[in-house]
């Protein structure tokens, strides 16, 4: 009987350790871009603008710029911010869910790593949403489907110009206004 209990406890411990180590790879998605920084950002921006479902660009932040101003030397990191009132409205109107505004606007990071390649990171909205109940699960499931379209590129189409004139485009500041939530 003691071996059975010890085996059960060891199995639970191993499961918890594996879950802890895998949590970050489940909560966030990272894919390599086939393009450089500016072209990747420009293509994502265009995809957001063409996505429908109320999506609008609300900012472009240069997260590396603030670090560089402080004397640090980091590789480029640009954060595209977008929001859809179709998706934010049902969450923001509920007092019990309004704290989820911390997730708004939707952010997509485009950054370079030491290997010289450009990567795209998104939050796994489809996995995180259901943790907050059926309404948020449904909304975030729809956001997850749209996010897939944001980073789907057609290399046969010419690259658009990157949109820099949005709130937050000049530096590491916040992004409010235009299409923001």
Kindly report, residue by residue over 110-133, the tens digit of the pLDDT: 999 999 999 999 999 988 899 999
Q: Is residue 8 in a domain?
A: no
pTM of the model: 0.80
pLDDT tens-digit series, residues 18-52 = 555 555 567 889 999 999 999 999 999 999 999 99
Query: Where on the phi/psi map is residue 143: left (φ > 0), alpha (ψ -120 to 50), or beta?
Result: alpha
CA angle 171, 125, 168 (to 5 degrees): 10
Q: Is 14 domain-assigned? A: no
CA 39-174-133 angle, to 5 degrees, is 90
* pLDDT of residue 177 exceeding 60: no
To which H or E segment does residue 110 belong? strand 106-112
Percent of the chain with pLDDT strictly greater than 90? 64
Q: Is residue 3 part of a domain?
A: no
125 lies in some domain: yes
Let me know if residue 94 belongs to a domain: yes
169 occurs within a structural domain: yes
- 23 domain-assigned: no
- 21 in a structural domain: no
Q: CATH number for the domain including 147?
A: 3.30.310.70
- Number of folded domains in the chain? 1
Between strands 77-84 and 28-32, the pairing is unpaired
Burial of 126 (0-12, 13-18, 19+ CB in 10 A): middle
* Full domain range(s) for residue 163: 28-181
């Amino acid at each position: 009987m003691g071996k059975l209990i010890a085996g059960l406890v060891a199995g639970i411990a191993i499961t918890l350790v594996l879950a802890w180590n895998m949590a970050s790879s489940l909560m966030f998605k990272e894919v390599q871009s086939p393009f450089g920084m500016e072209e990747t950002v420009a293509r994502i921006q265009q995809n957001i603008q063409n996505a429908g479902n109320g999506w609008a660009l609300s900012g472009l932040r240069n997260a590396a710029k603030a670090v560089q101003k402080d004397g640090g030397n980091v590789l480029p990191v640009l954060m595209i911010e977008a929001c859809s009132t179709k998706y934010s409205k049902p969450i923001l109107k509920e007092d019990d869910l309004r704290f989820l505004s911390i997730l708004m606007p939707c952010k997509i990071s485009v950054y370079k790593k030491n290997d010289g390649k450009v990567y795209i990171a998104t939050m796994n909205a489809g996995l995180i949403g259901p943790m907050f109940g059926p309404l948020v699960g449904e909304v975030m499931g729809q956001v997850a489907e749209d996010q897939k379209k944001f980073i789907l590129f057609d290399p046969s189409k010419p690259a658009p110009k990157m949109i820099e004139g949005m709130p937050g485009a000049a530096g590491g500041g916040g992004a409010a206004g235009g299409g923001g939530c």
